[in-house]
Amino acid sequence: MSAIWQGISLCLEDDILVATAAKERLNKIREINEKRTGVSGNHSVVCRGFKVPPKDGAFGHPIMVLSRKAATPDLIDFVMMTGFNGKTLQEKHGRQPFRYSDYIPISQTLAHPFIQDGSDPRYQTLAYDNPSMELLKHSYLALQDIYTMSLHDAEGFWVRKCSKKLPHMLSPTSSRQVLDLLRARPGQYQPGDQHRVTLQELWWIVLMSPVGALLMCVALLCALVMWFFG
């Protein structure tokens, strides 16, 4: 049993791996030929309390994972999400319209200036796979920088440990839209062939999910009862 990670979550999207890292393990990647990987369309929150480069705007920001390549399954690629402290893209970069192409709005955010003036249809607002997902403020995907980190680090920081927000999946159409935009940018990002989930990984995901954790607690409780009365 196996499945391609990119863009799907084996019906476990609320518990898919979350990428979070300390400063020394968060590396900006600018060259497209570096080895990089991930799960397309997924995002979570970088934990507060972990130091990340402030100049990169990563502190406390959500992320979206781009790729987890079959050739390097121990790494993931991702881009940052930002809310501009509640401002819209026009309010943040109105004096620098050349920066508009570095961002794309996410569900329930004001339409991109390129959509408003009809100049570039590729910047349609991204949609979540779950239409009921609501964001608390304007949110944009930042396309100008791609990051990489160890999947081992991601596995160590599930979003429920550091935030009340849960990871959500972008719709397949929106996931493809992001990758198409990145391919068209300088560097021509290529996600490559994606890693396929092994039975061991699937078991780990289920075990670490809220349901899996509950079942584990029940099993341990039953074992203690049997040992005590046995």
In this structure, what DSSP letter does residue 4 have? B
Distinct helix (H) and strand (E) counts, the chain: 6, 8
Q: Which of residues 134 and 124 earns the better pLDDT score?
A: 124
The mean pLDDT of the chain is 68
Q: Which of residues 208 and 17 earns the better pLDDT score?
A: 208
* Candidate from 16-30, 148-162, 176-190 with smallest mean pLDDT: 16-30
Predicted confidence (pLDDT) at residue 31 exceeds the cutoff of 60: no
Q: Is the pTM of this model over 0.85?
A: no
Q: Which of residues 52 and 193 earns the better pLDDT score?
A: 193
Average pLDDT over residues 8-25: 30
At residue 159, the pLDDT reads 45
pLDDT of 133-162, one tens digit each? 666 677 898 898 887 766 665 555 444 444
Q: Which of residues 130 and 100 earns the better pLDDT score?
A: 100
At residue 211, the pLDDT reads 61
First to last CA, the chain: 38
Residues paired with residue 117 on neighbouring β-strands, in sequence order: none
Q: Please tell me whether residue 76 adopts helix, strand or coil conformation.
A: strand
Q: pLDDT category, 2, cuts 50, 70, 90?
A: very low
Q: pLDDT category, 24, cuts 50, 70, 90?
A: very low
Which residues 6+ apart lie within 8 Å of 157 measured at CB? 18, 20, 21, 47
Predicted confidence (pLDDT) at residue 93 exceeds the cutoff of 90: yes
Predicted confidence (pLDDT) at residue 87 exceeds the cutoff of 70: yes
β pairing state of 62-67 and 103-105: unpaired
β pairing state of 168-169 and 103-105: unpaired
- CA 131 – CA 152 distance, rounded (Å): 31
